[in-house]
């Protein structure tokens, strides 16, 4: 699930949008080691509509059964910065 709000007025030269998201992944693995939830918040800044967009996202992933030996299967925080350019 993802929900956002685009501010009605310009902020500087572009538009600003805030959003929140919640994801759940449930895999058909017997021990449930891959099952996890992700909750995040972020913002998009549209310089020129969808043609030029900057995104920042901050999220937390929690596993139903975190691994003690595999870092990719442990609870974590993640910050992502993205740039979209269409030409």
Is the model's pTM score more than 0.85?
A: no
Residues 6+ apart with CB under 8 A from 42: 18, 19, 20, 21, 55, 56, 57, 58, 59, 80
Per-residue pLDDT of the chain (87 residues; tens, 9 = 90+): 999 999 999 999 999 999 999 999 998 877 888 999 999 999 999 998 889 999 999 999 999 889 889 999 999 999 999 999 998
Between the CA of residue 54 and those of 7, 30, 51, what are the distances in Å? 15, 40, 10
Residue with tokens 């992944």, as numbered in its chain: 25
């Amino acid at each position: 699930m993802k929900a956002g709000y685009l501010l009605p007025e310009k902020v500087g030269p572009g538009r600003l949008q805030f959003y929140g998201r919640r994801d759940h992944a449930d895999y058909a693995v017997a021990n449930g080691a891959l099952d996890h939830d992700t909750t995040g918040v972020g913002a998009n800044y549209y310089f020129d509509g969808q043609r030029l967009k900057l995104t920042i996202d901050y999220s937390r992933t929690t596993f139903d059964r975190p691994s003690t030996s595999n870092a990719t299967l442990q609870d974590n925080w993640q910050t992502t910065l993205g740039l979209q350019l269409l030409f």
